[in-house]
Chain A
Amino acid sequence: MTNHWVDIKNADVVLIMGGNAAEAHPCGFKWVIEAKTHNKAKLIVIDPRFTRSASVADLYLPIRPGTDIVLLGALINELLTKDQIQREYVTNYTDLSFIVREDFAFTDGLYSGFDPAKGKYDKTSWDYERGPDGFVKADPTLAHPRCVYNLLKAHYSRYTPELVESVCGTPKAKFLEAAALIGSTSTTTRAMTIMYALGWTQHSIGSQIIRTGAMLQLLLGNIGVAGGGMNALRGHSNIQGLTDLGLMSNLLPGYMTLPGQAEQDYDAYIAARAQKPLRANQMSYWQNYAKFHVSLMKAWWGEAATAENHWGYEYLPKLDKLYDMLQAYEMMLDGKMNGYICQGFNPLAAAPNKAKMTEAFSKLKFLVVMDPLATETSEFWKNFGEHHDVDSSKIQTEVFRLPTSCFAEEDGALTNSSRWLQWHWKGADPPGDARTDIAIMAGIYTRLRHLYETEGGAFPDPIVKLSWPYARREDPNPEELAREYSGRALADLYDPKDKTKLTRKAGEQLSGFGELRDDGTTSSGCWIFCGAWTEAGNQMAKRDSSDPSGIGQTRNWAWSWPANRRVLYNRASCDVAGKPFNKARTLVAWNGKGWSGVDVPDFKADEDPAQGMGPFIMNPEGVARFFARGGMADGPFPEHYEPFESPLGHNPLHPKEPRATNNPAARIFKRDREALGQAAAFPCVATTYRLTEHFHYWTKHVQLNAIMQPEQLVEIGEVHAKELGIKAGDRVKVSSNRGFIKAVAVVTKRIRPMTIEGKPVHTVGVPIHWGFKGLARPGFLANTLTPVVGDANTQTPEYKAFLVKVEKA
């Protein structure tokens, strides 16, 4: 979230799209109700199904799964055509006036630089023109034909309300009603928040859908203001913390990145990331990359990370390619990955195409499962009748199950969607032989280290030189780890401007990432968490809910990264002169000498607004980008591509260019492409999702949840059911080209048939949650059906739009 849960109460319009907050985030959803009750907010829900969120919405728009960019693009077109944009905001705080390189092109759905053989783009042309000073060229009058404004306008002029009706199946009148309401927040005193979740993420164009939403918010001036923002609802406890700490194959903590194979040179690695400003007097905060990086390396390798060895740069793996989960399973199948440690993850259930997963796991030599529950993954080798029909005698994989504690059985911090690190305390001891994940990982590590120390190996240094300063080597204390990721001074620190002034004594906790140094005198395991545990103690454990602002800025409740800042980009809530656009919801303001307010300013604290520094300090431009430059894998402007399994089989925007039917840069392997189904055999669009009664594949192990929703179901529209002769409560078989599930049919008015390009298309709702383990009635894993296709940027599988057929079981 750019903003936070409580701030949603400040919204005037709430747009829930690509998510079902009421169902999947019921506790946070209270703030939507709060906005409706006390701020007269209007709630718009756009979803393929009439969801629990829609049940309390003022306006509901149906949409065909996977066509969000068409609808959002059309909204952008509407705002631009009707000039319902926050002009002061977009002209000063975004790149609309910047001029794009002449060789940038977009033809027949493909951007310049496409390499069809690799399915990748050469992104050189996706950039601004530079002046002789190296800064970007701009035309503040927005008249230049290649300024971002005109390119944007031209790009989305194709996205019309008529196209929305024909491609998304959304009635035009409803679309225009929503557009008017959304457009009403282009004033300085009204704000819209966008709440989204995996309904946007889990598409082959997921990242671009989210970007389109962000662009909409930028046009309306809704980023950085109270009641606005792009708010990703994180669906797992601490999934925000997972990305923050860089638990992706290509990330380091704090959104730093691992070097690629070509980046053998440390200085070049840093230089590529410590971006220099693209305009005069811009902050370009990533210029400090080396400080964050060196502090990380000091946290990891301590004394072994020295200036001489480039702070242990050689210890870091250099990626030849991404090792995301889709890649990993592909490698297992090819026999290139023989062992797998599965921690807090149930991939047999959670990854797409269960048949492929079963085959992949069957080829492993060993599989270690760390989980509080007996997951399906840990018993993938066992036959469970029609729910999981395998021949155990043919599977040689050795499976180790290591029972872990669950969240309530350990101390620690969880990061919520609001970016708040909230410390929690153990409520009970773990049962039986269960141990904390920390203890298990530490146990594995100390044994590995011992092996390397005694037996040597190809490259023991990264293991044996790892800093391991914990009092209990086999079971580090969560508090030690928290202090470590927050960071401390390794030597006495002096004020850089006044070398005689001691600012921090060696060994003290740091107060924030502003104190980090690139000379090895500081350490911080995750620079954005720096300040979570200061000399004043554990900031994450704060529990003061007082809100003097009245707008939900509870700064003494837990600790929010970065720097306890509650609303990101909050400088943008003020006009160019530093006065709040909306006085009633002031976050920060320029007081003549500095920036202050109820939030921590996301800006240089003493920067006079007259100097022209932009509010988007992480970008070298200082402004927000409509034109993504090289930031995206699949194009600088979001473009609609059909899901890989599409009922149309072509892209309505580019019917003549088959290469532009689906995202040309998406992650797809050959055998997975072959496993795709066609609309002729599988005519219905299916989408998977959660029900409020359950959480993923966990709560089917819990009696109360199992009582609330005991048996596997699929949702089918009334009209569709009638065509098939299916009544509510009948058992149905839902098949894709990869397998089938059987479940009870919920026949509902909440799913209506859509007319897409003149032809009827039915949507089938497939809730996840059931499987062959647990207390709820045994069922099929929903991901038996889903295709193995990943988003071009995040490699997140396309769980939300695929093709199936439905028949009576």
Chain B
Amino acid sequence: MALQSLDIRRCSATTMPSPAARVGATPEVAKLIDTSKCIGCKACQTACMEWNDLRDEIGTSSGVLDNPRDLTAQSWTVMRFSEYENPKGDLEWLIRKDGCMHCDDPGCLKACPSPGAIVQYANGIVDFHEEHCIGCGYCVTGCPFDIPRLSKRDHKAYKCTLCSDRVAVGLEPACVKACPTGAITYGTKEQMTHDAAERVVDLKSRGFDQAGLYDPAGVGGTHVMYVLHHADQPGLYAGLAAQPRVSPLVRLWKGATKPLALGTMVLVALAGFLNYVRVGPNETREEDEQSAEREKERAHG
């Protein structure tokens, strides 16, 4: 989002490796969202807007409690409420804080064509640097979680930064700070994974046999993880992807195709030039002109 003092591990649209001297030593971080502790109070939404100086429009009610209704360039996180009747016939109100998952293998970064517009810091945070954003929306295409939103105002893409500006100075993200129940916590990914395991034990003791941690391997794991009561059915939580991965189409588009196509184009140009050099210019010689003249005269008799 802004000038930062975090080391960059990966950078969009570059053919060069990022500085790697610290790789492995910087601990990876994660935000853990425990849906079983979340009460949907939207303090995180509000804190996000306050810290990041965002103000979405005062909308309308669409007959649900979700509001703003969806992520926007001004709403980097929203609560999504799902009513689920479990097989026992009891109602469960599953509330999920939606926002960027900070994939370890970020589809947005892979898709981004603008050098340095999307970076991944050494600690795992995926950040958009809007000053480099060109507004193409490829990040939206690349994201397996449907997170980035293009601003109607400036045509730049926005999403949760995991408060990289706060994290850079040793603070927790604003949503974590604001969460009244401790449903959102922040720390090293190792610690969060460990904490999640404890929560899973507790949830299993309360009858949620399928409780588990959502840290999908398909995107290399995420730096925002969920504790779910029903880890076997992430879709219950407002359509959380069961097996998210960067789409094969996107991988093809931004993977092998790029160097192959570029190489092919270079080869084509080169081939033309080299053939020219090999066989010389294809020129019309005087004899061709004369032959043509003769034929012309013959035709006109």
Residues of A bordering B, CB below 8 Å? 22-23, 26-27, 29-30, 33-34, 36-37, 40, 50, 52-56, 58, 60, 691-693, 703-713, 727-730, 744-750, 752, 775-777
Other A-B pairs, 8, CB within 8 Å; known A55-B92, A729-B62: A23-B39, A30-B180, A52-B40, A58-B206, A693-B41, A693-B42, A744-B62, A748-B83
B58-86 interface code vs A (CB 8 A; 1 in, 0 out): 11111111011000000000000001010
Residues of B within 8 A of A693 (CB): 41-42, 67
Find out whether the CB atom of A728 lies under 8 angstroms from the CB atom of B64.
Answer: yes
Binds A, one of B48-56, B209-217, B286-294: B48-56
Distance, CA A52 to CA B37, complexed state (A): 11
A-B contact pairs, 8 of them (CB 8 A): A37-B202, A52-B40, A693-B42, A704-B46, A707-B56, A707-B68, A730-B63, A750-B91
Q: Are B58 and A777 in contact (CB under 8 A)?
A: yes
Q: Which residues of B contact A30 (CB under 8 A)?
A: 180-182
User: In the assembled complex, which residues on chain A have CB atoms less than 8 Å from the CB atom of B67?
Assistant: 693, 707-710
The reply to whether A29 and B60 contact each other, CB–CB distance below 8 Å, is no
Partner of A26, one of B58, B83, B90, B181: B181
Q: A711 to B181, Cβ gap below 8 A?
A: no
Chain B residue at minimum C-beta to C-beta distance from A730: B63
Is the CB–CB distance between B65 and A709 below 8 Å? Answer: yes
**Minimum-distance CB pairs A-B, first 8:** A728-B63, A729-B63, A22-B39, A55-B93, A711-B61, A744-B61, A26-B41, A749-B83
Q: Which of B38, B65, B205 contacts A691 (CB 8 A)?
A: B65
Contacts of B41 in A (CB 8 A): 22-23, 26, 52, 692-693
CA distance A347 to B73 in the complex (A): 39
- Closest Cβ neighbor of A706 among chain B residues: B58
Residue of A nearest to B83 (CB): A749
B294 CB to nearest A CB, Å = 85
* Residues of chain B with a CB closer than 8 A to A710's CB: 58-61, 67
Bound together, the chains give a CA A746 to CA B69 distance in angstroms of: 14
CB pair B61–A713 under 8 Å, yes or no, is yes
Chain B neighbourhood of A749, CB < 8 A: 83, 85, 91
Chain A's nearest CB lies how many Å from the CB of B87? Answer: 15
Contacting pair A29 B180 (CB below 8 A): yes
Contact of B62 with A728 in the complex, beta carbons under 8 Å: yes
| A672 to B93 alpha-carbon distance, docked (Å) | 39
B186-213 CB contacts (< 8 Å) to partner A: 199, 202, 205-206
Contacts of B206 in A (CB 8 A): 58
What B residues does A713 contact at CB under 8 A?
61, 63
Q: Which of A29, A703, A775 contacts B181 (CB 8 A)?
A: A29
B57 at the interface (CB under 8 A from A): yes
| Chain B residue at minimal CB-CB distance from A716 | B63
B43 CB-CB contact with A under 8 Å:
yes
CA distance A22 to B46 in the complex (A): 17
* Contact indicator A56/B37 (Cβ below 8 Å): yes
Q: Which residues of B contact A747 (CB under 8 A)?
A: 63
Q: Is the CB of A27 within 8 A of B180?
A: yes
Q: Of the candidates B37, B49, B93, which one forms a contact with A750 in the assembled complex, judged by CB atoms under 8 Å apart?
A: B93
| Contact yes or no, B93 A50, CB < 8 A | yes
A804 nearest CB across to chain B (Å): 19
| In the complex, residue of chain B having the shortest beta-carbon distance to the beta carbon of A31 | B181
- In the bound complex, residues from chain B placing their C-beta under 8 Å from that of A744 are 60-63
Whether the Cβ atoms of B37 and A692 lie closer than 8 Å is no
Please give me the residue from chain B that is nearest to A55 by CB atom. B93
Q: Which residues of A contact B40 (CB under 8 A)?
A: 52, 55, 692
Which single residue of chain B is at the shortest CB-CB distance from A691?
A: B65
- In the bound complex, what is the Cα–Cα distance between A704 and B69 (angstroms)? 15
B36 on interface, CB distance cutoff 8 Å: yes
B65 touches A746 (CB 8 A): yes
With the chains together, A598 CA to B57 CA distance in Å? 50
Q: Is B117 an interface residue (CB 8 A)?
A: no
In the docked arrangement, what's the CA distance between A745 and B64, Å?
8
**Shortest beta-carbon distance, B175 to chain A, in Å?**
14
Given contacts A29-B181, A30-B180, A748-B83, contact A712 B61 (CB under 8 A): yes
Q: Per a CB cutoff under 8 Å, which of B39, B59, B62, B93 touches A692?
A: B39
Q: Is B222 among interface residues, defined by CB-CB distance under 8 A?
A: no
Assess whether B95 is interfacial by the CB under 8 Å rule: yes
In whole angstroms, what is the CA distance A710 to B57 when docked? Answer: 9
The reply on B45 being an interface residue by CB < 8 A is yes
| Most chain A beta carbons < 10 A, residue from B50, B59, B65, B68 | B65
Contact partners of B39 in chain A: CB under 8 A: 22-23, 26, 29, 52-53, 55-56, 692
Closest to B198 in A: A37
- Please indicate the chain A residues that have their CB under 8 angstroms from the CB of B85 in the complex: 749
Contact of B45 among A706, A708, A746 (CB under 8 A): A708
What are the residues of chain A within 8 A of B90 when measuring CB–CB? 60
The one of B36, B42, B46 in contact with A56, judged by C-beta atoms closer than 8 angstroms, is: B36
Residues of A within 8 A of B59 (CB): 707, 710-711
What per-residue 1/0 map shows which CB atoms of B147-172 lie under 8 Å from chain A? 00000000000000000000000000
Which residue of the partner chain A has the closest CB to B45? A708
Q: What is the 8 Å Cβ interface bit string for chain B, positions 17-40, against chain A (1 contact, 0 not)? A: 000000000000000000011111
B55, A704: Cβ atoms under 8 Å? yes
Q: B60–A777 contact, CB under 8 A?
A: yes
CB closest chain-B residue, reference A62: B91
Asked if residues A729 and B83 are in contact (CB atoms below 8 Å), the reply is no
Residue among B37, B57, B64, B181 with max Cβ neighbours from chain A (10 Å): B181
A33-B46 contact, Cβ under 8 Å, with A52-B40, A711-B61, A750-B83? no
A118 and B91 alpha carbons, distance in the complex (Å): 47
- Chain B nearest CB, measured from A237 CB (Å): 16
Who on chain A is nearest to B68 by CB? Answer: A707
List of B residues within 8 angstroms of A775 by Cβ: 58
A58 cross-chain contacts in B, Cβ below 8 A: 206
Query: In the complex, how many angstroms separate the beta carbon of A163 from the nearest chain B beta carbon?
Result: 23
Q: How far is the CA of A27 from the CA of B182 in the complex (A)?
A: 10
Considering only residues 75-134 of chain B, those with a C-beta below 8 Å from chain A are 83, 85, 90-95
Which residues from B are CB-within-8-Å of A40? 202, 205
Taking CB atoms, residues of chain B closer than 8 Å to A727 are 63
Contacts of B55 in A (CB 8 A): 703-704, 707
Shortest distance from the beta carbon of A346 to any chain B beta carbon, whole Å: 21
Shortest beta-carbon distance, A700 to chain B, in Å? 10
Shortest CB-to-CB span from A96 to chain B, Å, is 35
Which of chain A's residues have a CB closer than 8 A to the CB of B42? Answer: 692-693, 708
The contact of A707 among B58, B62, B180, B183, by CB within 8 Å, is B58
Residue contact A746 to B58, C-beta cutoff 8 Å = no
